[in-house]
């Protein structure tokens, strides 16, 4: 086999990997060089008008150059999806550059405006990032959930079932294993019989501040095996293995195995002379060692001692080829942070950057002529033509022309959601209950909308009112799960059997996992080419528990509907640990997420209908509904076009201000009843009553359009000296800005202290958001 032959993945086995090794070794050098140079250029050569340190992580990149070379240029298939550890972004961009997917201009502008991003970003980068990373721990965990999403789609859509299943692959920094969310994800994956997932751990035993625990690999190994993963450890490279076979080799191997991480790192930094001194001092008198070491000059000894598995292309290819086809696999790849660079092994190398002299020495070592630093092939031993042919045949590249980023047809959403008519009853109803009923009614239809909705919840399916939907649409499991209680005729309102037709994914309590699951399901149209409309429910206060993962899902432009209920003090007897306060501000502050807090069922139905469209629009996003368990008397009204429009624009007059109005009450959500009661008392003064369904939409519109905005137009009904009283069951800042729209004097009522147990009326009074407080805010 010629060194340029690239066997197809199906032909890969331990004997088939020898072919591409020589070429991959050349490419590895180029990847190391380009990532080092990219960072050097950004920091030392590019204009830097702002004067701030640009940064970049040459050592973190060098650590994975071989692993990512082997992955992208050999093992990866077009259907695979990858999350690359954040600090290896330059390696990723360099690889895409060599594959023709990245421009030189973007590389030259690494970390600059419009250039390649510091951490791989599927929304900001243009070179085919599958899964964004940046907040350590989230990228790897995301691969667990994209794999689960793939399994769901394979059982629900013919197109994904017909595609070859992709492996969801994470290139993981070893310090990422300190993040608790990684273990939450492993547990959830285990429960769902995770498949087609690889985590390749760059085990360089260094994090940001220093050297990590010596025993980490044992913990990693045990934990992964315990959750059903295959574990493959790549400890030594081929050269070290060959040395172990020589006289004295076993002693050398024992010494390495016992060597503490920090000593190994320090000697790696110091080089061959120091390895020799240390080895001679420790084991020099043992049989064969002196002769063994004498066979290597200082450079050769450094090369030998740093020939760990994660830097040895052959070892990596063998490991990749050795694992069962669809198993979840953890590769623990021993590496050296900064491998091949002068900062290799130094404990402070995380943000270290080579000096200009060091970069130039590296350039010369790699035979790259001056002026050819960006050349994809300069300095490589293989002929450029041969390399080009090789790159053109890389399996991962094959689908590039057709695009790995897929798209899917829109799901049609009816003009009125099923069952909406029934909700104009005038009876008492909470928004949480209304949500359950709307979904239940949708579940009863034979429609695309019903088929494409998938719900998920972290152990609060019943208490967030998803039960009706689940009874009709079932729980998802690849293999059938019986409902033992039902089979034994134990009465229960809830059906709890599961099979592969189910449309609800039941999660354990970890809220972080909910957001990762929503993040993955909400990207299914782009990752897998079939669209889902994911809805996730949780208690509103526990958004904060998974906030980073929510932000992460939005940063990737994932599309989902987050239904958070119950919320606020209105959950009265449950007490302060369950009463959310700051979530309205999260809803306003989170890009990629449009938040609503309706008061009535008909508002909710309109918002959900809009939400399903918004989740599919090119310029759309995710949707957050803050709902409540407080039942309110529903207004008897028909949904006129104007009302519908205004609900979606964020506000409407429930009671228009009179001619001599002294002002308006502006309320949101569950406080509709208190606000209406206060309004009734103040009616003689012509006070208006403004319902705000979305402070988020309203505020964004005002910041964008000022006097022409929806709220500015509504408030133009008031005289300039009118007073506003804003009130919500949450932080007052969510509405207090309304005073700035037209300069009205404003009192902002709301909750900015922890809640507690009590009756809802008592609590509203105690926290100053009841009708009396609203009324007195006008008179004080």
* Contacting positions for Mg ion (CB under 5 A): 173-175, 204, 206
Question: Least Å distance between CB 137 and ligand TPP?
Answer: 6
CB 621 within 8 A of CB 652: no
How far from 525 is each of 327, 407, 487, 557, 697, CA to CA, in Å? 24, 5, 37, 12, 26
CB 228 within 8 A of CB 328: yes
Q: Give me 268's structure tokens.
A: 């790696």
Q: Which stretch binds ligand TPP (CB under 6 A): 56-64, 403-411, 448-456, 601-609?
A: 56-64
Q: CB-wise, 109 or 223, nearer to Mg ion?
A: 223
DSSP codes, 130-183: SB---STTHHHHHHHHHHHHHHHHHHH-HHHHHSPPPPEEEEEEGGGGG-HHHH
Alpha-carbon distance 456 to 536, whole Å?
A: 5
Q: CB-wise, 166 or 338, nearer to ligand TPP?
A: 338
Check binding of 174 to ligand TPP (CB under 6 A). yes
Residue 136 binding result from Mg ion, ligand TPP, none, given CB thresholds of 5 to 8 Å by partner type: ligand TPP
Q: CB-wise, 203 or 667, nearer to ligand TPP?
A: 203
Q: What are phi and psi of 725, to 5 degrees?
A: -120, 120
Q: Give me 85's structure tokens.
A: 């550890």
Residue 577 binding result from Mg ion, ligand TPP, none, given CB thresholds of 5 to 8 Å by partner type: none
Residue 26 binding result from Mg ion, ligand TPP, none, given CB thresholds of 5 to 8 Å by partner type: none
Q: Give me 613's structure tokens.
A: 């469209």
Q: Which residue is nearest to ligand TPP (CB)?
A: 173
Question: Least Å distance between CB 716 and ligand TPP?
Answer: 46
Q: Which stretch binds ligand TPP (CB under 6 A): 171-179, 258-266, 400-408, 600-608?
A: 171-179
Check binding of 606 to ligand TPP (CB under 6 A). no
Q: CB-wise, 176 or 674, nearer to Mg ion?
A: 176
Q: Which of 6, 204, 278, 556 binds ligand TPP (CB under 6 A)?
A: 204
Q: Lay out the site mask for ligand TPP across 505-544 (x = CB under 6 A, - = otherwise).
A: ----------------------------------------
CB 536 within 8 A of CB 530: no
Residue 522 binding result from ligand TPP, Mg ion, none, given CB thresholds of 5 to 8 Å by partner type: none
Q: Which of 120, 166, 173, 673 binds ligand TPP (CB under 6 A)?
A: 173
Check binding of 176 to ligand TPP (CB under 6 A). yes
Check binding of 135 to ligand TPP (CB under 6 A). yes
Question: Least Å distance between CB 402 and Mg ion?
Answer: 36
- Strand partners of residue 481: 498
Alpha-carbon distance 352 to 55, whole Å?
A: 9
Check binding of 202 to ligand TPP (CB under 6 A). yes
Question: Least Å distance between CB 208 and ligand TPP?
Answer: 4
Alpha-carbon distance 300 to 321, whole Å?
A: 29
Q: CB-wise, 299 or 348, nearer to Mg ion?
A: 348
The helix (run of H) or strand (run of E) holding residue 680 is helix 672-681
Measured in Å, how far apart are the chain's first and last C-alpha atoms?
89
- To which residue do tokens 């695309």 refer? 448
Residues 326 to 355: which contact ligand TPP by CB under 6 A?
337, 350
Residue 87 binding result from ligand TPP, Mg ion, none, given CB thresholds of 5 to 8 Å by partner type: ligand TPP
CB 778 within 8 A of CB 727: no
Residue 176 binding result from Mg ion, ligand TPP, none, given CB thresholds of 5 to 8 Å by partner type: ligand TPP
Q: Write out 581-600 in H/E/C secondary structure.
A: CCHHHHHHHCCCEEEECCCC
Q: CB-wise, 17 or 170, nearer to Mg ion?
A: 170
Question: Least Å distance between CB 134 and ligand TPP?
Answer: 6
CA-based torsion, 643, 645, 646, 647: positive or negative: positive
Contacts of 222 (CB under 8 A, 6+ apart): none
The helix (run of H) or strand (run of E) holding residue 82 is strand 81-84
Q: CB-wise, 339 or 452, nearer to Mg ion?
A: 339
Angle between helices 272-283 and 249-258 (to 10 degrees): 100
Please report, as ranges, the residues that interact with ligand TPP according to CB under 6 A.
57, 60, 63, 85-87, 135-136, 173-176, 202, 204, 206-208, 337, 350
């Amino acid at each position: 086999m010629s060194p340029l032959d690239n066997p197809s993945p199906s032909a890969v086995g331990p004997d088939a990997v020898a072919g591409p090794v020589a070429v991959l070794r050349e490419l590895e050098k180029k990847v190391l060089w380009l990532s080092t140079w990219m960072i050097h250029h950004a920091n030392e050569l590019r204009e830097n008008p702002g004067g701030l340190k640009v940064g970049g992580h040459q050592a973190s990149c060098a650590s994975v150059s071989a692993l990512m070379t082997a992955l992208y240029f050999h093992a990866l298939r077009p259907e695979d999806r990858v999350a690359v550890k954040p600090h290896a972004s330059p390696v990723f961009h360099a690889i895409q550059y060599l594959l023709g997917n990245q421009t030189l201009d973007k590389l030259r502008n690494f970390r600059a405006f419009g250039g390649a991003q510091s951490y791989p970003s599927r929304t900001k980068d243009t070179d085919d990032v599958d899964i964004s990373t940046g907040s350590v721990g989230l990228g790897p965990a995301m691969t667990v959930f994209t794999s689960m999403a793939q399994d769901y789609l394979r059982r629900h859509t013919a197109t994904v079932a017909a595609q070859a299943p992709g492996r969801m692959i994470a290139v993981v920094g070893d310090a990422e294993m300190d993040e608790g969310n990684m273990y939450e994800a492993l547990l959830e994956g285990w429960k769902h019989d995770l498949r087609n997932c690889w985590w390749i751990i760059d085990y360089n035993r260094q994090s940001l501040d220093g050297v990590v625990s010596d025993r980490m690999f044992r913990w990693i190994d045990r934990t992964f095996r315990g959750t059903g993963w295959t574990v493959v450890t790549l400890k030594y490279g081929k050269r070290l293995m060959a040395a172990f076979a020589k006289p004295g080799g076993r002693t050398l191997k024992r010494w390495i195995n016992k060597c503490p991480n920090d000593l190994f790192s320090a000697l790696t930094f110091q080089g061959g002379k120091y390895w020799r001194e240390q080895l001679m001092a420790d084991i020099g008198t043992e049989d064969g060692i002196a002769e063994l070491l004498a066979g290597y000059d200082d450079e050769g000894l450094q090369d030998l001692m740093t020939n760990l598995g994660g830097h040895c292309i052959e070892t990596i290819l063998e490991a990749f080829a050795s694992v069962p086809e669809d198993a979840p696999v953890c590769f623990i790849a021993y590496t050296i942070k900064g491998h091949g660079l002068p900062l290799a092994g130094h404990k402070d190398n995380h943000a270290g950057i080579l000096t200009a002299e060091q970069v130039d020495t590296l350039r010369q070592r790699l035979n790259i002529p001056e002026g050819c630093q960006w050349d994809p092939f300069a300095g490589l031993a293989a002929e450029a033509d041969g390399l080009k042919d090789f790159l053109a045949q890389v399996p991962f590249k094959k689908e590039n022309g057709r695009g790995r980023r897929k798209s899917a047809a829109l799901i049609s959403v009816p003009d009125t959601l099923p069952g909406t008519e029934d909700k104009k009853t005038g009876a008492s109803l909470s928004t949480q209950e209304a949500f359950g009923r709307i979904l239940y009614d949708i579940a009863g239809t034979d429609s695309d909308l019903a088929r494409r909705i998938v719900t998920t919840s972290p152990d609060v399916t019943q208490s967030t009112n998803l039960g009706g939907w689940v009874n009709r649409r079932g729980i998802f499991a690849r293999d059938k799960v019986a409902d033992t209680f039902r089979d034994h005729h134990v009465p229960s309102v809830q059906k709890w059997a599961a099979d592969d037709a189910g449309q609800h994914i039941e999660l354990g309590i970890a809220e972080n996992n909910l957001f990762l699951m929503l993040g993955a399901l909400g990207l299914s149209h782009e990752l897998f080419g079939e669209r889902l409309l994911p809805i996730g429910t949780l208690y509103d206060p526990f958004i904060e528990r998974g906030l980073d993962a929510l932000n992460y899902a939005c940063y990737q432009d994932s599309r989902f509907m987050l239904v958070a209920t119950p919320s606020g003090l209105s959950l009265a007897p449950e007490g302060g640990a369950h009463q959310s306060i700051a979530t309205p501000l999260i809803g306003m502050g989170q890009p990629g997420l449009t938040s609503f807090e309706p008061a009535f069922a008909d508002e909710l139905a309109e918002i959900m209908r809009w939400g399903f469209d918004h989740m599919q629009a090119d310029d759309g996003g995710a949707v957050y509904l803050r709902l409540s368990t407080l039942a309110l008397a529903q207004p008897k009204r028909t949904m006129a076009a104007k009302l519908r429009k205004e609900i979606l624009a964020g506000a409407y007059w429930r009671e228009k201000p009179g001619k001599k109005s002294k002002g308006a009450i502006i309320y949101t959500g569950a406080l509709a009843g208190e606000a209406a009661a206060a309004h009734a008392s103040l009616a003689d003064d012509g006070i208006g009553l403004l319902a705000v369904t979305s402070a988020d939409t309203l505020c964004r519109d005002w910041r964008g359009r000022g006097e022409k905005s929806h709220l500015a137009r509504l408030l133009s009904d008031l005289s300039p000296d009118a007073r506003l009283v804003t009130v919500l069951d949450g932080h007052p800042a969510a509405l207090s800005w309304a005073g700035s729209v037209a300069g009205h004097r404003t009192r902002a009522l709301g909750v900015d202290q922890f809640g507690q147990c009590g009756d809802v009326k008592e609590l509203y009074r105690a926290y100053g958001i009841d009708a009396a407080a609203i009324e007195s805010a006008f008179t004080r």
